[in-house]
Homo-oligomer: A and B are copies of this chain.
Amino acid sequence: MSSVNDRSHLSIGEVLSLLQADFPDVSISKIRFLESQGLLDPERTPSGYRKFYEADIERLRWILRQQRENFLPLKVIKDRLAKGEIDFTPAGEPHSPVGSAGAPTDRPRQPAPEPVAAAHQVATPAPAVVHDAPPPVEPRLSAPERGPARIVLDDSSSAVSLSIDELSKATGLTAREIGELERFGMLRSRPTGTTAYYDDEALEVARVAAAFRSHGVEARHLRMYKLSAQREVGLFEQLLLPIMRKHSSQARQEAADLAGDLASLGDALRAAMLRQQLRDLLDGT
């Protein structure tokens, strides 16, 4: 878990496990295929192994996002890459050893850097707070007309910090099930020293997953929620990026506000679609 390699590149298999949580359908053969189509061009070791640097991985992420969110065929994605509109140099870190900015090279790389954002700091270790199992999610049927749900976004540092055992006790999920949710990228832990800690967001996800499981729905069926959220964020991203490029704290707030607006609208729309469909189902269409 804590083994960050001291070399600055990853092998194809390491890239795979890095991306699998965000992109469940990525595979080694897919990555090789993307290279064969000219979308990637990683360096090689003398013996022929591919070497993936930060910029390569960001480029790959971008490609996979385009496929998923915009349903673009690879040819179009390739064209956009060729136009050099996008920058994949990692922000907030020294440039990776392999040259792109500065020294000229004969391998086609990306244009000049223009950092996008940074500062995703490792949270300071907090004492483990055990949270007694709180009242379970308990939905009901009631009257409509209350307006859409408000989607809330804030960066309040979490007051909750649970070990995996504590999270397991609080939700009734086994450690295996928690691990599965984590592999699917639905849940995240924060490694602190030797153990991993789970925050309130993770607790919420685990709790919902436990409720689903009590209805017989397994974790793997829940991945579609992550996927649809990713699609949605992909749509929002196009509206948010122009604002975020300004980098001022005011722009940041503006982007957060817009994100909240869009999320609430999306929520209302999704709820309406779901009502329609469920009614059809219950009415026997």
Q: How many residues from A make CB contacts under 8 Å with B?
A: 84
Q: Is the CB of B120 within 8 A of A151?
A: no
Shortest distance from the beta carbon of A66 to any chain B beta carbon, whole Å: 15
Contact partners of A86 in chain B: CB under 8 A: none
Given contacts A144-B154, A150-B139, contact A201 B272 (CB under 8 A): yes
Dominant secondary structure at the A interface: helix
Contact digits for A93-115, partner B, Cβ 8 Å, 1 yes 0 no: 00000000000000000000000
Complexed CA–CA distance, A147 and B207 (Å)? 12
Which residues of the partner chain B approach A225 to less than 8 Å between Cβ atoms?
232, 266, 269-270, 273
Copies of this chain, whole number: 2
Decide: A278 and B259 in contact? CB cutoff 8 A: yes
Is A165 at the interface (CB under 8 A from chain B)?
no
> Is B274 in contact with A139, judged by CB distance below 8 angstroms?
no
Cβ contact within 8 Å between A260 and B201: no
Residue in B144, B256, B257 whose beta carbon sits within 8 Å of that of A152 in the complex: B144
Which B residues touch A273, using CB under 8 A?
Answer: 186, 205, 225-226, 228-230
A270 touches B228 (CB 8 A): yes
Instruction: Check A236/B278 contact, CB under 8 A, given A154-B141, A225-B273.
Output: yes
Question: Nearest-CB distance from A88 to chain B (Å)?
Answer: 13
Q: Which B residues are in CB contact (< 8 Å) with A272?
A: 201, 204-205, 208
